[in-house]
């Protein structure tokens, strides 16, 4: 199967080509296929895919490609992703030439070779020419391209897939161009100024990975279809719709986006990882933000609290899911010897040889004696997690005389010096 991607060096093009190459090379195609079928209930068998991923050929076309290369691709291709377009020309007249004109040339070449393969068009919500997009020259050029595609479908019987993309964001998006999110991510990551004229401005946003999933579905005839209805030209999902759309999107204000980005920016200082539930806008924005970090910020120092027993270093903390730390004990050293009312922890030894001891506070009413001590011998050669129970005093001993003991420690709450919930008591 030969797939032509025009605008292959652009934001969407780079991400789409990377996904197609992963499928072709077998790096991730089982994962992608199974995830798509699971998410959209199209089945569960790789055999349902209508082509052999190993036979996938990706033809990349961009502004530096030749007309002859485009013509050869149009003669042979089995599917076209038309992502090429003009976003920020020096002259508004270039909108029509770059968006309508190229689309016309592409369709003419396909028709020249009687190639009625499916063709996808990357259009824009600005083509609605409604609301703040009224009078948009860019929108007019996109609308003209859409009508060209619909006329082509009626004339040739080819399947066309017209997507009106809203604001897009994700890795590799060009900052200071046509994406406010990319600009904010880049500038905040690099300590540059940003300008927000109206924090309450609302954006409809689609994340690049969600868009690429939809593109892969479209490639296999499983696109989501819709119509645009009402004065505001809102999406109305319908299987027989004239247009296509990405079903996963987010509606966020500029002010909230900036606030989140500033939280991400401060993470190396606060060590706080914000809530990033699966599928959430926060998770997608955080991944986007990280892709703009300069080399100087890819790594950052952590504060090691060092004494004659070893060291303790907090790695990160969360608002609702506690904190993670690394504890290093020198040979023969015992640490801990305290208990908590409500706090509980996991101790996970990843290097060395140690002994974890725990004892419930108080005395056994049946014997009048202290409760027995539980002991867990632990080693980096056999990694296991040991609960530090509430109401149990506990300690960890490095049994080695030569090797440090390295323990990953997770606590169910971040340490609060004003309410430490930590009380001295020998096991």
The string of pLDDT tens digits covering residues 325-351 is: 999 999 999 999 999 999 999 999 999
Helices 29-40 and 208-219 meet at what angle, rounded to 10? 90
Q: What is the DSSP letter of 186?
A: H
Question: What does pTM read for this prediction?
Answer: 0.88
- For residue 99, the model assigns a pLDDT of 56
C-alpha distance from residue 272 to each of 144, 187, 223, 316, 346 (Å): 48, 21, 39, 6, 19
Most confident stretch, 81-85, 137-141, 348-352: 348-352
pLDDT at 36 over 80: no
pLDDT at 89 over 50: no
195, 2 Cβ separation under 8 angstroms = no
- For residue 34, the model assigns a pLDDT of 53
Q: What is the DSSP letter of 338?
A: E
Residues of the chain with CATH 3.40.50.720: 2-269
- For residue 50, the model assigns a pLDDT of 59
Distance in Å from the first CA to the final CA of the chain: 68
pLDDT at 95 over 50: no
8, 61 Cβ separation under 8 angstroms = yes
- For residue 132, the model assigns a pLDDT of 74
C-alpha distance from residue 167 to each of 94, 173, 217, 251 (Å): 21, 11, 21, 10
CA–CA distance, 302 with 285 (Å, rounded to integer): 24
Q: Which of 67-81, 125-139, 272-286 has the lowest mean pLDDT?
A: 125-139
Q: What is the DSSP letter of 100?
A: I
285, 203 Cβ separation under 8 angstroms = no
Domain 304-424, what architecture? Sandwich (2.60)
Strands (E), 67-118: 79-82
- Pairing assessment for the beta strands 167-169 and 250-253 based on DSSP bridges: unpaired
- Using 50, 70 and 90 to split pLDDT, how confident is the model at 54? confident
- For residue 76, the model assigns a pLDDT of 93
Sheet order of strands, 373-379 included: 373-379, 353-360, 392-398, 334-339, 423-424
**Residue recorded with tokens 């004892």:** 359
Q: What is the mean pLDDT of residues 84-107?
A: 63
Q: Identify which of 386, 361, 391 has the alpha carbon closest to the alpha carbon of residue 375.
A: 386
Q: Identify which of 80, 78, 140, 76 has the alpha carbon closest to the alpha carbon of residue 106.
A: 80
- For residue 137, the model assigns a pLDDT of 76
Q: What is the mean pLDDT of residues 159-185?
A: 94
Greater confidence, 126 or 72? 72
* Tokens at 330, concatenated: 């020198």
Q: What is the mean pLDDT of residues 177-194?
A: 94
- For residue 45, the model assigns a pLDDT of 37
CA–CA distance, 364 with 376 (Å, rounded to integer): 21
CA–CA distance, 181 with 94 (Å, rounded to integer): 25
- Using 50, 70 and 90 to split pLDDT, how confident is the model at 145? confident
Which letter, b or e, does each residue of 362-393 get, where b requires 16 or more Cβ atoms within 10 Å of its Cβ?
A: eeeeeeeeeeeeeeeebbbeeeeebebbeebb
- Using 50, 70 and 90 to split pLDDT, how confident is the model at 41? very low
CATH of domain 2-269: 3.40.50.720
CA–CA distance, 107 with 126 (Å, rounded to integer): 22
Collect contacts of 323-326 with beta carbons under 8 A, ≥24 apart.
323/271, 323/410, 323/411, 323/413, 323/414, 323/415, 324/408, 324/409, 324/410, 325/408, 325/409, 325/410, 325/411, 326/406, 326/407, 326/408, 326/409
Strand partners, 272: 317
- For residue 216, the model assigns a pLDDT of 93
Q: What is the mean pLDDT of residues 392-400?
A: 98
* Tokens at 182, concatenated: 């990319």
pLDDT at 71 over 50: yes
Q: What is the mean pLDDT of residues 194-205?
A: 94
DSSP-based three-state secondary structure for 377:
strand
DSSP H helices in 100-159: 102-112, 137-156
DSSP-based three-state secondary structure for 274:
coil
376, 349 Cβ separation under 8 angstroms = no
Catalytic positions: 138
Mean pLDDT of the chain: 90
- Using 50, 70 and 90 to split pLDDT, how confident is the model at 43? very low
19, 13 Cβ separation under 8 angstroms = no
205, 251 Cβ separation under 8 angstroms = yes
Q: What is the mean pLDDT of residues 58-80?
A: 95
Q: Identify which of 303, 307, 329, 333 has the alpha carbon closest to the alpha carbon of residue 409.
A: 329
- For residue 33, the model assigns a pLDDT of 53
Q: Which of 47-61, 254-268, 325-339, 407-421 has the lowest mean pLDDT?
A: 47-61
- For residue 28, the model assigns a pLDDT of 60
- For residue 161, the model assigns a pLDDT of 97
């Amino acid at each position: 199967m030969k797939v032509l991607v025009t605008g292959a060096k652009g934001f969407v093009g780079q991400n789409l080509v990377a996904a197609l190459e992963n499928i072709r090379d077998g790096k991730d195609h089982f994962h992608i296929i199974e995830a798509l079928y699971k998410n959209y209930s199209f089945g569960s068998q790789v055999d349902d895919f209508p082509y052999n991923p190993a036979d996938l050929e990706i033809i990349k076309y961009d502004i530096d490609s030749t007309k002859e290369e485009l013509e050869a691709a149009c003669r042979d291709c089995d599917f076209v992703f038309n992502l090429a377009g003009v976003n920020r020309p020096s002259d508004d007249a270039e909108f029509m030439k770059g968006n309508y004109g190229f689309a016309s040339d592409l369709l003419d070449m396909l028709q020249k070779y009687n190639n009625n393969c499916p063709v996808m068009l990357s259009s824009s919500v600005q083509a609605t020419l409604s609301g703040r997009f009224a009078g948009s020259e860019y929108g007019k050029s996109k609308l003209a391209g859409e009508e060209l595609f619909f006329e082509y479908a009626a004339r040739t019987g080819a399947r066309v897939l017209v997507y009106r993309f809203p604001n897009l964001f994700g890795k590799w998006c060009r900052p200071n161009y046509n994406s406010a999110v990319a600009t904010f991510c880049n500038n905040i990551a690099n300590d540059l100024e940003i300008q927000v004229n109206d924090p309450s401005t609302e954006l409809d946003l689609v994340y690049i990975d969600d868009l690429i999933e939809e593109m892969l579905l479209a490639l296999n005839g499983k696109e989501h279809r819709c119509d645009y209805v009402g004065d505001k030209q809102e999406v109305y999902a319908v299987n027989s719709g004239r247009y296509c759309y990405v079903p996963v999107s987010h509606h966020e204000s500029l002010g909230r986006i900036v606030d989140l980005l500033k939280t991400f920016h401060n993470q190396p200082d606060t060590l706080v990882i914000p809530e990033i539930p699966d599928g959430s806008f926060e998770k997608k924005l955080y991944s986007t933000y990280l892709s703009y970090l300069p080399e100087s910020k890819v790594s950052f120092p952590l504060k090691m609290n060092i004494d004659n027993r070893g060291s303790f270093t907090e790695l990160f903390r969360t608002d609702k899911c506690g904190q993670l730390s690394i504890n290093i004990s020198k040979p023969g050293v015992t640490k801990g010897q305290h208990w908590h009312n409500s706090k509980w922890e996991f101790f996970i030894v990843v290097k060395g040889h140690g002994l974890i001891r725990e004892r419930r506070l108080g005395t056994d009413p049946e014997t009048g004696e202290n409760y027995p001590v539980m002991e867990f011998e632990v080693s980096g050669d056999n990694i296991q997690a040991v609960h530090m129970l509430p109401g149990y005093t506990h300690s960890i001993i490095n049994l080695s005389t030569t090797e440090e003991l390295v323990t990953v420690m997770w606590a169910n709450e971040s340490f609060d010096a004003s309410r430490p919930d930590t009380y001295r008591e020998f096991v």
